[in-house]
Every structure is written in C-alpha cells, then in structure tokens.
Amino acid sequence: MKKHNFSAGPCILPQDVLEKASQSILNFNNDNLSLIEISHRSQPFINVMERAQTLVKELLEIPKGYSVLFLQGGASMQFLMVTLNLMKLNGKATYINTGAWAKKAITEAEKIGETIILADSSDKNYTYIPKEYKIPRDVDYFHCTSNNTIYGTQIKKFPECPTLLTCDMSSDIFSRKIDVKKFDLIYAGAQKNMGPAGTTLVIVKDNILGKTGRNIPTMLDYNTHINKQSMFNTPPVFPIYVSMLTLEWLKDLGGVDIIEKENQKKAKLLYDEIDRNPLFQGTAEKEDRSNMNVCFLLTENKYQEKFDEMCHQTGITGIKGHRSVGGYRASIYNAMPIESIEILIKLMKKIEKL
C-alpha cells in the first residue's frame, strides 16, 4: 500500500532523493565506500558541502555579505546561539510569541539578558499571528518564527524592522519566496523541507557579528563556523548530503517560485474542503493559515474513530494533531504530492455522506 506521509517532521522527502541517498550509504561516488564512512576532510565531502551551500545561495538569491552554515543542535541550539551572538552585554532583545517554538526561543533569550515580548497570541491558543506591535530602535534584535507547525499559523508579511531582524524558518524555508536582504539572520532545522534531522541551516550577515562584547563559547560562536566552513568539528555528513540532494531536486523543479505556486495550490485545495465540509473546522484564523501545516478538527467526535480507520486503511499516516490543538494536522511540505492531498479530501467527502 502506498503511504501518504503527512507527518510534521521528520517529514516526507522526494522519492528520487531517498533512492540516491540510499545508494550513497552503500557506495558513494562509485568509490566502493559508504558516504557515512568517508572522511569529512576528503575532497568528495568538501564538494558536497560546497554544493549544498551554493544551492542555498542560488535558490534563495542570497546577496553577498552573508555566510551559509550547516550546523548541529537543531533550531533549539539556535535559540541560544542567536542571543549569545547578537545581544550585547546589558543589551536587550524583542520577540513575538506565536507558539511553542517561539516560546522556547524566548526562554533561552531570557537566560542571557533582557527579553521583551512585543506581542503574544497565547490568549487564543496561538490561533493567529499578532500584527499590532511596534519594534523599538533601541534593541539589539527582533526575533520571530515564520511558521508555527503545531498551531498551523504563518507570517504572511514580515514587519519593517529598525534593528536586526532574525527569524526561525524551520518549517517553511524554501517553500516560498523571501527577500533575504531584509533579514540579518535566518535559521532552519533541515527536517521539514530540506532533509533528515541532524543539521541546521544558518544564513547570517557577516557584518553583524563580533559586536556584543561577550566572550562567546567557541562552539556557540558563528564566527568559529564561518572561519572553518561549517567544519569546526565533524559535520553531520549524511543529513547535509541529503539536504544537498533535496535542494538539487528543488532546483530541477524550477526553484522556489515554482514550488511556492504548488504549495499554494495544495493548501487551497485542502482549506477549501475544510471550509465547505460541515464535519470539519479549521483551527487557525483564515488570514494567518499556514501553507505548510493545515490544522483542523472534526465538528462531531462520534466520527473520529471511523475517520481514523479510514485514514489508516488508505495509507494516510502522521496526520494526528498535536496534543496542544487536538484533531488533525496535515503537513504538506514541498515534497508532498498533490495526489496525497486529493486522497485525504476524498475521505473527508466520504465520511460526510455517512
């Protein structure tokens, strides 16, 4: 039975990428060596790292003056690294709290220095993106989370920022066009639209670093990794290679412009059915709905067991909603084919007629 993987992450990857990655485990570059046993200092892997970085720059149209890093520790490590590298001694930073991951980022920043929460959507269980806030000039940076996987909300328009603009784009990086030059630092865990868990993409403007007056631990200093081309310590070779393959797949499709249109089409199909079908109800405010994570509820709980069984029998997996929201969450990242969404919609129509 074909599986339709709606998991929020680790997520679906293109079949072609999985096949190439599988082959690399057995025989990489026809050298009769596995990718995961070659030296990260060898030229074959240096080529992988350089190719991955080049693809990031091409696909996101990154201007000169930015470094592209592949690090470890996930977005959770970046919650701390952003603060250590950008918040001055006796300085302060601003955040908006739009969900669980934004809250975790705030928690880490509060351990380092003064952290101001400019806006907070927890009053309505994070079902909307706050918009009525003003970013002060006398802060070291502003931080936001572009897409909230748990609650199914997404920032559609980023604020004008008089200070450094930083963003966690873990769950929608490469899914839509962004103007990188408006941002000073972007970070994203790989396991949504790039590859398997294990590496984290960081895009940072070089001239904002080294100005905090802090004695930053070596491993947590962005300049350490810039100077060593993301190889200060042994990098996560396999996740970086799979990320490279996924970025090549995206480039071959036509790039971010093309995938953004596909993602909009997929999301509209599913949201239209949720809004049409009286048995289902979306959880996020319509203007803030995510194109990556579609969260919805059954309006009548008596159908839950039947709908769950229908999903199981059809090969739909990973669709259970997060415990914070309940219901269902269909994560429709870049590699999700429209056919899988059509299968889900057929089930929604079918249960409506029972």
| 307-348: pLDDT as tens digits | 999 999 999 999 999 999 999 999 999 999 999 999 999 999
Query: pLDDT at position 170, please?
Result: 97
Query: pLDDT at position 342, please?
Result: 98
| 3-class SS letters over 245-304 | HHHHHHHHHCCHHHHHHHHHHHHHHHHHHHHHCCCEEECCCHHHECCCEEEEEECCHHHH
Last residue of a domain, one of 253, 283, 312: 253
Query: pLDDT at position 354, please?
Result: 83
Whether 275 and 139 share a structural domain: no
pTM here is 0.97
| 74-132: pLDDT as tens digits | 999 999 999 999 999 999 999 999 999 999 999 999 999 999 999 999 999 999 999 99
In the predicted structure, residue 2 carries a pLDDT above the cut 90: no
| 128-180: pLDDT as tens digits | 999 999 999 999 999 999 999 999 999 999 999 999 999 999 999 999 999 99
The residues near 350 (Cβ < 8 Å, ≥ 6 apart) are 310
Whether 188 and 290 share a structural domain: no
CATH number at residue 325: 3.90.1150.10
| 182-230: pLDDT as tens digits | 999 999 999 999 999 999 999 999 999 999 999 999 999 999 999 999 9
In the predicted structure, residue 70 carries a pLDDT above the cut 80: yes
Whether 118 and 36 share a structural domain: yes
Last residue of a domain, one of 253, 276, 297: 253
Which residue in the list 140, 168, 184, 288 is annotated as catalytic? 168
Whether 227 and 261 share a structural domain: no
| 226-270: pLDDT as tens digits | 999 999 999 999 999 999 999 999 999 999 999 999 999 999 999
44 φ/ψ angles, rounded to the nearest 5 degrees:
-60, -40
Whether 338 and 239 share a structural domain: no
Which residue in the list 192, 205, 221, 249 is annotated as catalytic? 192
The residues near 185 (Cβ < 8 Å, ≥ 6 apart) are 82, 86, 141, 164, 165, 166, 167, 202, 203, 204, 205, 208
Q: Which of 177, 201, 195 is nearest to 333 (CA)?
A: 195
Whether 85 and 155 share a structural domain: yes
Whether 139 and 190 share a structural domain: yes
Which residue in the list 101, 172, 205, 288 is annotated as catalytic? 101
Q: How confident is the model at residue 290 (pLDDT cuts 50, 70, 90)?
A: very high
168 assigned to active site: yes
CATH number at residue 142: 3.40.640.10
Whether 209 and 338 share a structural domain: no
Whether 270 and 231 share a structural domain: no
Whether 153 and 55 share a structural domain: yes
Q: How confident is the model at residue 273 (pLDDT cuts 50, 70, 90)?
A: very high
If one counts the domains in the chain, the total is 2
Query: pLDDT at position 124, please?
Result: 97
Q: Which domain holds residue 24?
A: 15-253
Whether 245 and 268 share a structural domain: no
101 assigned to active site: yes
Last residue of a domain, one of 253, 273, 296: 253
User: Among residues of the chain, what percentage have pLDDT more than 90?
Assistant: 99
In the predicted structure, residue 1 carries a pLDDT above the cut 80: no
Whether 194 and 77 share a structural domain: yes
